Amino acid sequence: MSDSKSVKRPIGVYVLVVLAGIMALLSAVYTLQSLGILPYFIGSVAVRAFSFFNALMWGLLVWVYAWLTSMLWKMNPMAWVFLAVITVVNLTINFTLLLGATTWVDVSVSFIINALILIYVMLPHVRRAFGQR
């Protein structure tokens, strides 16, 4: 699909593109924290830690959300499906983290944004825009 064509996008598609972009930026911040470039904040204490595996996984998630943002903008139906799946996985991971020693403050931004994405993905006019029933 060429950008020269005028594509009619519902407002929900724009919202999904923005939210996926925010998740890409949030994942980039987590990548920088895993590399020790940005500190983790535990209350008022800043802690720097290095974890190559975490940085690799968060970096992969940055790439995934950047790809999703591009595909959502092009209104690719597979992007809609993949966004729904990755959002459910992220919500499950956030919930599992809350069962452990993690506090609500640590996962609240990710949890709220993923919940908003899941709500918007399931709206009827957004589903129809991506050719889903």
- Residue 73 is assigned to a structural domain of this protein: yes
- Residue 124 is assigned to a structural domain of this protein: yes
- Residue 2 is assigned to a structural domain of this protein: no
- Residue 3 is assigned to a structural domain of this protein: no
Which pTM was predicted?
A: 0.81
Q: Which residues contact 33 (CB under 8 A, 6 or more apart)?
A: 39, 40, 49
- Residue 4 is assigned to a structural domain of this protein: no
Number of folded domains that form the chain: 1
Q: What is the pLDDT along the chain (133 residues), one digit of tens a residue?
A: 555 466 778 888 899 999 999 999 999 998 998 898 888 766 666 778 888 998 999 999 999 999 999 999 998 999 999 999 999 999 998 888 888 877 787 788 889 999 999 998 998 888 888 887 7
- Residue 1 is assigned to a structural domain of this protein: no
Residue 53: other Cβ atoms inside 10 A: 8
- Residue 41 is assigned to a structural domain of this protein: yes
- Residue 49 is assigned to a structural domain of this protein: yes
Q: Which domain holds residue 89?
A: 11-129
